[in-house]
Chain A
Amino acid sequence: MRKRRARRSWLWAAVPFAVLLLAGCNGGDNGDGTDTADTTATTEPSTTEPPAETVFTRREIHTLSAEEISRYKAGVALMQSRAATSPTSWLYQANMHDFPEDDGTCPATPFSGPDPPEAWGTCQHASFFFLAWHRMYVYYFERVLRAAVREASGDPTADFALPYWDYENPANRDLPEPFRSPADASNSLFVSARASNCNNVVAGNPCISDAEASDDDAMDPQHTDFCGCRTATCAAGCVANRRSDETFGGNFTAQPVHFGSGTGELEFQPHNAVHVAVGAGGWMSDPACAARDPIFWLHHANIDRLWQVWLNQGGGRANTTNNEWRTQTFTFFDETGTAQTLTGCQVLNMATQLDYQYEGLPVNNVVLCDEGGPLTGEAGGPPPAAPKTLVAGAAAETRLGVRRTSVKVALPQAASQRILTLSGPDPGRVRLVLEGVKLLRHGSHYEVYLNLPAGATPDPKSPNYVGTVALFDHPAHAAETTRSFDVTDEVAALRAAGQWTGELDVSFVPGHGEQALTATAGSGPFVSVRKVSIEER
């Protein structure tokens, strides 16, 4: 399960330089109340201890030998025998994910004092911390379990890496046999509180169905963004105007969140689906109990593997460069029971930073925090084509006040024809671009309509509606910005409705309604727009 790391000597020699470079990535509390970029709060494992001699290889569970399974079971049993007060015990490790306050799906774990032990209940779900936190969690758990395997076997150098469960392979849809047989307390991998068709092989009814196992959506080209925000503006490194499951890794959060509401596509599917399928009301489907089931760790090793599978596809896929994601510190415990911390910056490359890899899976398209380019492979596919302006209005400031305002742009026949072509069978897109958009004073946002007939009542559900201009800035020092909208579908719908006249008339309608604004907001303008144009993309 392990092999020599070819570049280890180079990496070790480079450690002092790496420490300096990491200073630009890791921010934290120095202990004196000051927040600075630092190298102390985010310990890079290879800088504080002699480098490991090996990179451990996680293999698919079905490829392990009987002897390897036996040693694995013995290590789990040893952890399960330890008191829950020990960070290297099975229960302590599981409760770091989440824990029941009272007996419920699984028994509560008593603890002394008003607060639970350190790091209990700190799992990160439904935000962009999901993948990084679970990588860290599984990494330290694997170190604890490796030490237990060595202790139980009496071999202090015994090789061990956590297996993973590749349920996407149709041959692996049943729960792996060591976890269900023997179905009694002699088997440290057996848990009774699972779905009946997981603890038993049922012909035609495997533990994991095709739909539950699928990661097709997470891997498809619609999910190349790592993270996003629901709002029109977003923190650096994440994409605005995204529902969380339109991203691969979930939505931005400025602070850790135990259970948020920004679940990414991979977390929804297959992560959530497999939890629910195996648990079915038992341990795996309840976050407070899930990590007590040994299959939890193989499931999460697989999710961790799929993160790298996604990166390896390139095509614009990349980890976020968001600073909160990169520098947020989380606490875990190593094989000696000592608290350790990690940040996103420190878990980007599993092989060089954490000494593990997945069998047959290269680590490509990983950019470390201190590097300007990809570590190996290509970061993303070819750059997108530059937009081409089809028609542009004159640069003249248009001020938007309490009344509906229209801007007409002359549309040459060739441009009009091209727009129609793009909105038809041609796969290109048409965008309406508003340049030099500036906030003059607070008080109104504007609905934007294309070719809204004179006298027609503006309706955001009509094909004329293309979007909203809403600025969130300070008028005293507001900068000009550009707002654009994909209007391909709107042009197609207007044409289908006989409303495409070959003209370009952009209307701005106060979002609160003309009458309401007239009564309460005076007559001054709220927003100005310098230029209106149409681009082809």
Chain B
Amino acid sequence: MCSSPHRRASVAAPFLLCLALAGCQPPAAGGAAAPGGEVSETKVMAASEPARIELGAEPVTVAVPLRPEDNERLLQAAAEPGRLRLAIEGLQLLRPGRAYEVYLNLPEGAAPDPKGPHFLGLVALYAPAGDPAETTRSFDLAPAVQALRERGRWPGEVKVTLVPADGDKVAAAAGPFLRFRRLVLYTR
């Protein structure tokens, strides 16, 4: 179904673009704060500004701000599978029924293609509607970064686009399905 052209919405508009903000802070000393004051060893490279970002019937694009020196670190980390990951934090299910395809640096107006180099994976939550528990979904960025570099299409920035999968399965008028808080680039 994902390869069916008539199922694919263009990401030209409308979409939400959350731009880099200087006030964006990693959770604690470069690591993920955890109950009890313990700190994760994983290292945050960059993160989008925390916000309530809802996913409904239209694609949503969120930018992760990178400083100039971060790009070199990103490319170094992405040279090895599993070292550089993108996390979607604070995910919550608002109502069941729709998954979202996640793309890295999908050009505006391009047709999303799960078989293409921009595709990172799916976000599909299975929980009671309105479940307050937040979860995190993360993806290895190495395959997409390497594929885009090989094609000469690495733009030196990180924009993540979430596109509703199976667009004709669920009525769009009833509101958003998922929401999340921020995107985090981190290394392991």
Contact = CB atoms under 8 A, between A and B. Distances in A.
Interface stretch (A49-57, A86-94, A492-500, A516-524): A492-500
Most buried by B among A211, A277, A460: A211
A12 interface: no
Nearest to A269: B122
B181 interface: no
B39 A126 contact: no
Given A232-B39, A261-B134, A489-B77, A277 B99 contact: yes
B169 A197 contact: yes
Given A246-B138, A461-B30, A241 B72 contact: no
Interface stretch (B9-17, B123-131, B151-159): B123-131
B30 A468 contact: yes
A276 B97 contact: yes
A51 B42 CA distance: 49
Interface in A460-487: 460-463, 465-468, 470, 472, 485-486
Q: Decide if the interface of chain B is mainly helix, strand, loop or mixed.
A: loop
Given A277-B99, A280-B98, A470-B37, A246 B188 contact: yes
Name the interface size band of chain A.
35 or more
B39 A470 contact: yes
A467 B114 CA distance: 35
Contact of B121 (A222, A269, A465, A472): A269
Given A222-B82, A468-B29, A489 B126 contact: no
B72 A493 contact: yes
A526 to B, nearest CB: 13
A288 B69 contact: no
Given A461-B45, A497-B72, A276 B30 contact: no
Contacts of A447: 29-30
Contacts of B2: 209-211
Most buried by B among A243, A272, A465: A243
Interface residues of B, number: 70
B57 interface: no
A198 to B, nearest CB: 9
Contacts of B73: 463, 489, 492-493
A516 to B, nearest CB: 14
Nearest to A196: B169
B30 A125 contact: no
A245 B133 contact: no
Contact of A472 (B38, B133, B140, B187): B38
A294 interface: no
Given A222-B82, A273-B124, A461-B30, A241 B169 contact: no
A276 B98 CA distance: 6
12 contacts: A125-B127, A202-B1, A204-B4, A211-B119, A245-B138, A259-B127, A259-B133, A281-B170, A445-B37, A461-B30, A461-B67, A489-B77
Given A125-B127, A230-B32, 17 more contacts: A126-B133, A195-B169, A204-B4, A210-B2, A211-B122, A221-B81, A232-B41, A246-B138, A259-B133, A273-B122, A276-B97, A281-B170, A287-B126, A460-B29, A463-B69, A468-B28, A489-B76
9 nearest A-B residue pairs (beta carbon)? A281-B97, A460-B30, A280-B169, A205-B1, A272-B124, A285-B96, A231-B38, A209-B2, A222-B82
Interface of B: 1-4, 7, 26, 28-32, 34-46, 67, 69-70, 72-73, 76-77, 80-83, 85, 87, 95-99, 101, 114-115, 119, 121-122, 124-129, 131, 133-138, 140, 165-166, 168-171, 187-188
